[in-house]
Chain A
Amino acid sequence: MHEFNHLEECMGTVFQFSGLSEIDEAEFLESATNTLHKADAIFSLYKPESPLSRLARGETSVSQCPGVVEQVWELCESWAKKTDGWFSAFTPEHTFDPSGLVKTWAAQAAVEKLLEAGITDFTLNAGGDILISDGQSREEFWRVAISKPVSIADAEAGVLTVLDLSGTEFRAVATSGSAERGQHIWNPKSNENQQDFTQVSVIARDIVEADVWATAAFAEGIRSLERINNQAHLEALYVMADGSLQATDGVLALLAKATR
């Protein structure tokens, strides 16, 4: 058994795989990171020649794009329904922009490569969204800190609080906020951006679910608290504009217990 720790730059952010393995993980990490880069090559709107960029410019159609584009399109539609329209892959300019989901969708696909290879004891930090494998053995990796709602490069950077997901059904935490890239989430239902809170962290059983709900909650504002509270298997912690916290019912039980 040995440790591995791999950083991969992709999609304009950094993915970190950390875990323990009995086999040489290099080949499988490569396959996992290739999955990320492949998704980036197709879905990036920062690459002018990507299928998604061409789609946005009206130069191609979904049916002419690689098959995964339609798959992601349908996935986005089903999430739009589940979130009552608060998650939307359609920009105010009516172009298809699934970036609210693609990062974690690709992260999940990458993780499958490790699982298929029998590597089952790891976590993935996908640019601030966390996935914990079922087989995670290291106690501290079940604990996920929530960043303060400031940039990690800010002098004030640090930890807001810590969640402990060990012994729970939860395997993922995703955070949406304005700290790193400003107001990058659009409101699919009006031109107004919510001013209720600066950051929301969603705790879920899988990373796509956490990511989508965090994006939807950020778009909707604090009324999403009740919506999330009414969903099974989902919790959320909000940092309000005045610095106070609000949370769904189950969050209190997820706060880490003191180590001593």
Chain B
Amino acid sequence: MQSSSKYTFRPVKVKKTGGFATLVLVAGAIWGGIVFGVDQNGGWNAVLNLASNVTPSTSVSPTQTTPNPGPVTANGDPINYPFGTIQLSVTRSNGKISKVGLIQASASAGRDQAFPSLEQAAISANGTNFGNMSGATYTTDTFKQALNSAISKLP
């Protein structure tokens, strides 16, 4: 019996059912607590992902933040994920998040070749930067809440 650690993969099954292949893998493994995702052009998605690494704060809102005339940049802590390290920076100017950047990203190339190719693809895919994130339609309030928790990390 394999460990039930969320970073431990169970073998990938590729089933043929009714003429179409169904790929089954353990989502827990690729969720893995990975907190990253970068839009180098300051998109909110990266902010939201950064947000997932800090305690949500409801006491700070963008409008309550004292506007700062000059840009202020905060670097997140380097985050280790099972296959590398990532670190994000967030810049605020005039009270708004103006830029989110990736200042460090590494992925250990070439996982053990014994892993099945599908699993390899899923792991690799999760270690890739991206421009947008698709998810269930969030409300404006949820969006602000997620943004606030990222902003609360700024000095």
Contacts and interface: CB of A to CB of B under 8 A. Distances in A.
Given A141-B132, A175-B136, A259-B129, A155 B124 contact: no
Contacts of B105: 259
Given A13-B143, A18-B43, A180-B136, A153 B56 contact: yes
Given A147-B136, A244-B27, A249-B21, A142 B107 contact: no
Interface residues of B, number: 59
Given A18-B41, A158-B31, A255-B121, A245 B48 contact: no
A154 B128 CA distance: 22
A145 B134 contact: yes
Among A140, A174, A226, A257, chain B packs the most CB atoms within 10 A around the CB of A140
Contact of A157 (B38, B39, B52): B52
Nearest to B120: A258
Interface in A158-179: 158-164, 173-179
Nearest to A18: B43
B72 interface: no
A57 interface: no
A152 B126 CA distance: 17
Given A180-B142, A255-B122, A255-B125, A146 B135 contact: yes
Interface string B102-142: 00010101000000001001101111111111111111101
Contact of A13 (B121, B133, B138, B145): B138
B101 interface: no
A144 B127 contact: no
B49 A157 contact: yes
B40 interface: yes
B26 A243 contact: yes
Interface in B21-61: 21-28, 30-31, 33-45, 48-49, 51-52, 55-56
A247 B22 contact: yes
A177 B133 CA distance: 14
Contacts of B38: 140
A162 B146 CA distance: 20
Given A18-B41, A144-B133, A256-B130, A128 B138 contact: yes
Contacts of B25: 244-245
Given A256-B130, A259-B127, A159 B138 contact: no
B128 A257 contact: yes
Nearest to B27: A243
A5 B131 CA distance: 12
B89 to A, nearest CB: 16
B20 A153 contact: no
B67 to A, nearest CB: 17
B18 interface: yes
Interface string A114-156: 0000000001010111100000001011111111110111111
B56 A225 contact: no
Contacts of A239: 27
A252 B31 contact: no
A256 B149 CA distance: 28
A152 B55 CA distance: 13
Interface of A: 3, 5, 7, 9, 12-14, 16, 18, 103, 123, 125, 127-130, 138, 140-149, 151-164, 173-181, 199, 201, 225-226, 229, 239-240, 243-249, 251-252, 255-260
21 contacts: A7-B44, A9-B140, A12-B140, A13-B138, A13-B143, A103-B137, A125-B132, A127-B138, A130-B134, A138-B131, A143-B128, A147-B135, A151-B142, A155-B52, A156-B31, A158-B35, A180-B135, A226-B18, A239-B27, A251-B23, A257-B121
Interface of B: 18, 20-28, 30-31, 33-45, 48-49, 51-52, 55-56, 105, 107, 109, 118, 121-122, 124-140, 142-143, 145-146, 149
